[in-house]
Structure 1
Amino acid sequence: MVTVYWVFTSLMGIATLTALIPGRALGWWVPLWFLVSTATNELAVWGLIMHLLMLAIGVTFFDPSDPFVRSALCVLMLSCLGTLILLRRHFESGRQLERALQAGLPPSFEEMIPLDRRRRLSRQITAKDWLHPISFARHGVRRERNIAYGEAGKRNLLDIFTPVRSGSDRPVLLQIHGGAWLVGKKEEQALPLMHHMASLGWVVVAINYRLSPRATFPDHIIDVKKATAWVRQNIHKWGGNPDFISVTGGSAGGHLTALTAMSGNYAPWQPGFETADTRVQAAMPLYGVYDFCNRVGIRQGTRIDDYIMKKVMKSTPEDDPEAFDRASPVCWVDGEVPPLFLIHGSHDTLVWVEEARRFVAELSAVSSTSLVYAELYGAQHAFETVHSPRTSHYLNAAAWWLEWAYADWCAKRP
């Protein structure tokens, strides 16, 4: 039993280390580092409880004079300290998000939101959410599942989250799941955000889209645009305002979110529905890939480029430079761009934070659009998929920004 205890505590220490240190350029170890780091980081509250429990077990049931037990307890205490550091980073993310909003929005952006909507918003977080990390349902939210928006079977289905209370002309949020353009479902990601925004009176739509390797880009973005056109035509039946559609997504969904925002009404990506209005009024991409060509070599130590060429594009930038340019949001920065709120974690193992920094710099240099960029120190890829103190701060900031974007759009309407 002493050996088992020592091994288990050592594994806990290693897991805490992966969450504290960004693992980059690790080759085939990157996915494992990401999975262990994300679970340890985002479940840090429960990790702390586990550490305290293991310390109590070690002190109560084992002899502290045993070298193995003593070394296990030392590792456990260091790991516990590391977990406290992780939790401090979680709580500090609230200030980071608030500074980003203050820097990117007008000084009086809160007052632009109507009082009846502003009263629903908060900057406080409570333990009732992050002590239940995978409990997503919110009181007063209804979900209608598996509505077809296209002809591609289950890959062209969507879910709609609405408030139970009847209403009309509610702002709409479209969620695009991630999964490296290869996997993922509408039921798996952004559940905290979707339930939260529906509870605040929004209509939220989560979509599937065709995936690689069966699908080849631009199939993915065509489906997103097809869903956008469907929402614009039909969402009034669920109480949504078809004139205001915001879009969000993480990872591959972050890439598609940025591309959707910047390529509105691009006819070649609207086969059969060329005249449909696919513009969106606001976009919130999370930890996305913004340049398929990797022009400045940010992804030099990753395998993403080979993957994109072989599985997603099925060509190379040399063979089809125009297609790679069109697939890169960074190549659309001089076009018409709605308000953007970009969020990226400093410890992202899969998509390095420099990618977001570069995209923000390129966009800031040529566009007059409202741009908010929040870089969350210590956050990993997919940080907001479960409830945590960091997720709670993110939900508050996302709600403030989305409400401001809607209020700003309303103020500018004829």
Structure 2
Amino acid sequence: MPYVLLAVGAVSLLLAVNARRPPHGAVLSMPGFFAGWFALEMAPHLLVLEIVGLVSTAAAGGLDGWAGGVGLALGLVGLAGTIGTIAASRGTAATLRESGVPGDPDPQVPSRYPLSQLILPPLCLVPRRGVQVDRNVVFHEDGRLRLKLDVYRPKNDGRLRPGLMQIHGGGWIIGDKREQGLPLLNHMALQGWVGFNVNYRLSPRATWPDHLLDLKHFLRWYRAHAEEYGADPDFLCVTGGSAGGHLAAMVALTANIAEFQPGFEDVDTSVQGAVPIYGVYDLLEPGPWPIPLGKTALLQKRVLKRSFDKDRDAFAKASPVSYLRADAPPFLVIHGSHDSLIPVLEARRFVDKLRDASDAPVLYAELQGAQHAFDVFPSYRTARVVEGVGRHLADLHGRYVQAGRPSGPDEMDESVG
């Protein structure tokens, strides 16, 4: 039993160290990410498990040998690290306020994320009370291809509401609308928004820019069918994480570029705001990467299926930084300081370049201690980010309403946003 206690203590310490200093090497980055993912976002749950593990093994005779004493010491240091992780996450709300996200919620709509989901994270898979979900709505068909989405909307329909497009991540090769964005979409539906969790074709079967073209087809569908789901066809924001953050930025910055909407070039594919989260924005320049991201086997062999050295232009055209412009929509860029898969420097350089080019506001929230994909879990950090994004989007919609741009004078609920 002393060696069991030694193992429990060592694991506790390793999890704490990995959460603070995740590895970035090619071999260790992925296991380090998954371990840090749990240790950072489920830190309160981990703390309970660590305490139970240390106490139970010590009570069962774990302190009868030297190994048990060492294990207990290591475990106590690990506990301190986990408590520090919890304390660091408490600064999320302040970080969002400092970035420019509005701090005062609208008193007329529910703004707090439910405590029940923080205690029992699987509850986020269940639509919250007051939210109606329409699943597997087909938005584009071409032969055997049928692209689908899920709609999250308030049950009390009747007026046109702002729309939100959610794009899942997964390195352009995995992922599904059922897995990501659920805490945000449920929250926004209760805020009076209509959310669309959109699927798109995945590589290696799909070749870039198929992914972006599919999302443009959604925009065409949205203009024609938004009202059927209670959404304003003239107001839509976009968000997504990781590869979804890359695609959200591409959607926002490539509005009305004919190359990306073949056959429906006349359709307005603009959006009114973008919230990319821990995304990739430049495939061409190395920046924070040892080599340009476009030069990796994933991008060359499975996504773009082109040689980086022979066709650099293709990788430039797949990079959001290639489309920076003065009339870009407002952006809120969110990234974790401890992201071991996409270094935080990727977000910083994108924000700097976008601010130089865009006339619209560009907000940037760098979340201290956050790993990649932090918002998949309904953690304390996720709750504060979801609430902050909700306030930011509500502010964008409020400005839209004040500018007198709704579809009709009686169609928009001015209390929303």
State how far apart, in whole Å, the 2-side matches of 1:110 and 1:56 are.
Answer: 41
Quote the Cα distance in structure 2 between the aligned partners of 1:63 and 1:241: 63
The question of whether the paired residues in 1 share the 8 Å contact of 2:283 and 2:294 is answered with no
Letter matched to residue 51 of structure 2: L
Pick the aligned partner of 2:340 from 349, 359, 372: 349
In structure 1, distance between residues paired with 2:146 and 2:100:
35
TM-score of the two chains, using structure 1 as the length reference: 0.92
Which of these residues, 132, 137, 140, is aligned with residue 147 of structure 1? 137
Shift of 1:204: 0.4
Please point out which of 257, 267, 270 is paired with 1:266: 257
- Paired with 2:249 and 2:32, the residues of 1 have a C-alpha distance of 27
Mark the CA change 1:155 to 1:36 in structure 2 (over 3 Å): closer, same or farther: farther
Shift of 1:409: 1.7
Count of residues in Structure 1 that have an aligned counterpart in Structure 2: 401
In 2, the alpha carbon distance for the partners of 1:230 and 1:82 equals 49
Report the CA distance shift for 1:409/1:50 in structure 2 as closer, same or farther (over 3 A).
Answer: same
> Alignment partner for residue 172 of structure 1, among 159, 163, 169?
163
Distance 1:209 1:60 in 2: 53
Q: Which residue of 2 aligns with 1:138?
A: 128
Which residue of the partner structure matches residue 93 of structure 2?
94
Higher relative contact order (CA 8 A, sep 6+): 1
8 Å CA contact 1:110, 1:118 repeated in 2: no
Residue 73 of structure 1 and its aligned partner are, at CA, apart by: 0.8
CA contact (8 A) 2:97 2:103 kept: no
What secondary structure, in the 3-state scheme, does the structure 2 residue paired with 1:28 have?
Answer: coil
1:155 deviates by 6.3
Shift of 1:335: 4.8
Residue 214 of structure 1: CA displacement?
A: 1.0
Distance 1:343 1:246 in 2: 15
TM-superposed deviation, 1:125: 6.1
CA distance in 2, matches of 1:70, 1:234: 66
Per-residue deviation at 1:64?
Answer: 2.3
Aligned with residue 210 of structure 2, among 182, 194, 219 = 219
Q: Which moved more, 1:358-367 or 1:252-261?
A: 358-367
Amino acid at match of 1:31: M
The runs of 5 or more residues in structure 2 that have no matched partner are 406-417
- Cα drift, residue 55 of structure 1: 2.6
Letter of the structure 2 residue corresponding to residue 34 of structure 1: F
**Is residue 27–residue 303 contact of structure 1 (8 Å, CA) maintained in 2?**
no
CA shift in 2, pair 1:15/1:301, >3 Å:
farther
What one-letter code is carried by the residue in structure 1 that aligns with 2:117? D
Question: 2:411 aligns to what?
Answer: none
**Aligned-partner SS, 2:122:** coil
1:297 matched to 2:281: no
1: CA distance, partners of 2:78 / 2:51 = 11
Q: CA 1:303 to 1:368, structure 2 compared with 1: closer, same or farther past 3 Å? A: closer
- d(CA) in 2 for partners of 1:249, 1:236: 23
Q: Which residue of structure 2 lines up, in the alignment, with residue 402 of structure 1?
A: 393
Q: Letter of the aligned partner of 1:371 in structure 2?
A: V
In 2, the alpha carbon distance for the partners of 1:121 and 1:317 equals 49
Work out the CA distance in 2 between the residues paired with 1:304 and 1:23: 21
Offset from partner CA, 1:170-225 (integer Å, 9 cap, x none): 11000000000000000001111111111111100001101111111100000011
- CA deviations 1:365-392 (Å, max 9, x no partner) are 1221111100001100000111111111
* Aligned 1:2-401 pairs, distance under 5 A: 2-24=2-24, 26-101=25-100, 117-120=106-109, 122=111, 127-136=115-124, 137-151=127-141, 156-293=147-284, 295-300=285-290, 305-306=295-296, 307-401=298-392
Cα deviation per residue 1:259-317 (whole Å; 9 max; x = unaligned)?
10010111111122222111111110001000011x25321168763121221111134
Distance (Å, rounded) in 2 between the aligned partners of 1:259 and 1:63? 56
* Per-residue deviation, 1:63: 4.7
CA contact (8 A) 1:38 1:382 kept: yes
CA distance in 2 between counterparts of 1:226 and 1:383 reads 29
Counterpart amino acid of residue 187 in structure 1: R
Question: What is the distance in 2 between the residues matched to 1:139 and 1:182?
Answer: 33
Aligned 8 A contact 2:280 2:342 in 1:
yes
CA–CA distance in structure 2, aligned partners of residues 175 and 60 of structure 1: 49
TM-score (norm 2): 0.91
Output the CA distance in 2 between the equivalents of 1:313 and 1:352. 22
Query: In 2, Cα distance between the equivalents of 1:63 and 1:184?
Result: 43
Distance 1:314 1:286 in 2: 25
